[in-house]
Structure 1
């Protein structure tokens, strides 16, 4: 089953959630955003005893948001995500803009990101092999999120410009980031391997990959072109939930995350870390090496530099690089 490809919707949807999803897709919003918004809107509906949202008002929204803060003890960012989903529901879908809201604000503090030291990152990476190792090297070497790495296509690796192009990243935005010198050869070998698999799929009557944003209509044969093949193809073919076509998708994140989690434990890294710690470590190493925060913001794809600035709190020699007086010779 393909988990990150939007399922086909009816041509003339009648169900509430299908109509909502249709509107979201008409705005060219990321599928991850669609999943998130639908999740919180369903939570909102269940919280109010399956009452239709059109019968609700700002009062019901305030009750739900306060519940998240007080009873559920959710973080500020979680509450804000739920708020964004409900604002979209009422303003864009129901065309009933909410008045000024008054609700209990979440106070759960924002946690600092977990960061590997360089030696810890190397130990974890050396404990991996195959595709999970290369994915981890991309996250640490280029600052990619795990799904940004797994969704890379052959054409997204630009050896000539020494850059990697991230398509439809968080916020449905494209960006470029660096292609590390040390990854040029492994990525070349990975491309060769995925194209060998592609030739086998073509010989077996398959070989067509998913094309985003209806590009399959603009380029009818594009899905079978080598450039569009996933850099990290899945081990097996799977059924596309919209078209029913048997295709080879990319690796799913959960398998890679499991491998990284095991490697973290075996490396003896006693931190509350997961695959995303590689991206945090990428940003922190760049700060330590003196790179400008705006450059790091661009490489990470952060919309707001304040998001990037959190890494200034976790650079090595915490406390903004201040030397403690106890470290001075007595």
Structure 2
């Protein structure tokens, strides 16, 4: 049974607020999913039942996720963030002192490829997907940041890429590799041809966050706002029902990486994020300052970046095995 508030279900109200505050579509879907699961878990029937003993309800659900479902710490935190949004923003009832059993987050050393392994994998991925993977390694981009790049984010003169609205809603600048300049320029020429055809066919609009769409009229059809890596086809935007060309799907890139790693016979759990880890580690190897790497990666806490120093302590804390001294 849906919880009704002022002729709207609670989840519809939550969705409206998420869109008004320009949350990413993926975040919107995730938050709505967690809120729905929470309501079903407690079998809540109305708004009042949500408000009664709110902290205890949230604690019970998070404890259930940790102990019964054995979810990862990041998954539990994601659920908590969704419920905090639900109570604080939608119900306007801030949560206080939630003390649930938490999933344990074990310290993990990131998966890093050697320079030779990176070269092997990159040599087996061609086309647009290959270009995206090269950008992941060349600038330490997250896969979500790479697919969301806009044409205006690439500065060929200053040889840099601006990552806008990254994790934590922060902007940062990262280097553009010299070897990718001509390739990217050629790629953008092809994208412009596609965009001009879309305009001619009555399309050509691209998604812009609500505030930008309101501030800059017709910016959604300007080439500089288009995605650097648009999808092959035009689809209906689920938020606005407008038919437009979105960015390429991340799964296409992940599948290509997985195939290439298998072909290279590399026995590491390599994901798109491994190229970001490799970018940081290889910069450290060549003497780049740790705080510079922190800025390039967009880390708020230096301790997050320091994990790459552990990767360089090869052989376990940099110790040479006694076997090698026999």
Are 2:174 and 1:183 equivalent residues in the alignment? Answer: no
SS class of match (2:101): coil
SS class of match (2:210): coil
User: For 2:142, which of 142, 145, 168 is the aligned residue?
Assistant: 145
C-alpha spacing 1:208/1:86, structure 2 compared with 1 (3 Å) = closer
Deviation at 1:246, TM superposition (A): 2.3
C-alpha spacing 1:288/1:215, structure 2 compared with 1 (3 Å) = same
Deviation at 1:135, TM superposition (A): 0.5
User: For 1:18, which of 12, 15, 27 is the aligned residue?
Assistant: 12
Distance 1:268 1:30 in 2: 36
Deviation at 1:229, TM superposition (A): 1.8
CA contact (8 A) 1:261 1:275 kept: no
Distance 1:119 1:231 in 2: 28
User: For 1:103, which of 100, 103, 120 is the aligned residue?
Assistant: 100
Are 2:151 and 1:154 equivalent residues in the alignment? Answer: yes
* 1:65-101 deviations in Å (ceiling 9; x for gaps): 1112211122333323322332333233323333323
CA contact (8 A) 2:135 2:146 kept: yes
Distance 1:288 1:217 in 2: 46
State the partner residue of 1:5.
none
Distance 1:158 1:223 in 2: 20
State the partner residue of 1:280.
277
Distance 2:174 2:7 in 1: 40
Distance 1:200 1:96 in 2: 50
SS class of match (1:140): helix
Counterparts of 1:1-330 in structure 2 under 5 Å? 14-52=8-46, 53-315=50-312, 317-328=314-325, 330=326
Deviation at 1:134, TM superposition (A): 0.4
Distance 1:29 1:235 in 2: 25
SS class of match (1:170): coil
Q: What is the number of residues matched between the two proteins?
A: 318
CA contact (8 A) 1:76 1:108 kept: yes
Distance 1:189 1:162 in 2: 16
C-alpha spacing 1:143/1:94, structure 2 compared with 1 (3 Å) = same
* 1:183-215 deviations in Å (ceiling 9; x for gaps): 111111111111121222223232222222343
C-alpha spacing 1:206/1:23, structure 2 compared with 1 (3 Å) = closer
Distance 1:172 1:254 in 2: 23
C-alpha spacing 1:186/1:79, structure 2 compared with 1 (3 Å) = same
Distance 1:121 1:80 in 2: 32
SS class of match (2:312): coil
Deviation at 1:39, TM superposition (A): 2.8
Structure 1 gaps, min length 5: 1-11
Distance 1:125 1:269 in 2: 13
Deviation at 1:241, TM superposition (A): 2.6
